[in-house]
Amino acid sequence: MRTCVKTFKALADETRLRIVMLLANGELCVCDLMAVLSLPQSTVSRHLSYLRNTGWVTDRRQGMWMHYRLDEGNTALHQALLTVLKKELPVRGQACDDATALAAYLATKKKGSSC
């Protein structure tokens, strides 16, 4: 039961839910998430740490930046919830706005940047 509670608590925060939805599109650097969410690095990193500790994301270091992606193979509960989230949230206001902002940001992101 504890694992189930932790799983739902991880998604109970709006910022963490927004991060999960952005990562549903693929791996992103912390700087990408900062730009789209308009949040400081410390806030984004704190939420990513929570998601990592609850099994929602995995990370890898590239230079000075951390890159995150969803850990879709974690548990059957994660897989089921992720399926529902991917189906329901993209048509909702904030998730739709975030997806649009991410696409615009990635289109203008300079190639060869450190992030």
- Is the pLDDT confidence value at 93 over 90? no
Which pLDDT score is estimated for 65? 84
Q: Tokens 């994660």 identify what position? A: 78
Sheet holding 28-29, edge to edge: 28-29, 65-70, 57-62
Say how far apart CA 55 and CA 74 lie, in whole Å. Answer: 6
SS3 letters across the chain: CHHHHHHHHHHCCHHHHHHHHHHCCCCEEHHHHHHHHCCCHHHHHHHHHHHHHCCCEEEEEECCEEEEEECCCCCHHHHHHHHHHHHHHHHCHHHHHHHHHHHHHHHHCCCCCCC
Q: What is the pLDDT of residues 1-19, one digit of tens each?
A: 787 888 899 999 999 999 9
Residue 36 vs residue 1, higher pLDDT: 36
Q: Where are the domains of the chain?
A: 2-103
Q: What is the pLDDT of residues 48-82, one digit of tens each?
A: 999 999 999 999 998 888 899 998 767 888 888 88
CATH 1.10.10.10 fits 2-103, yes or no: yes
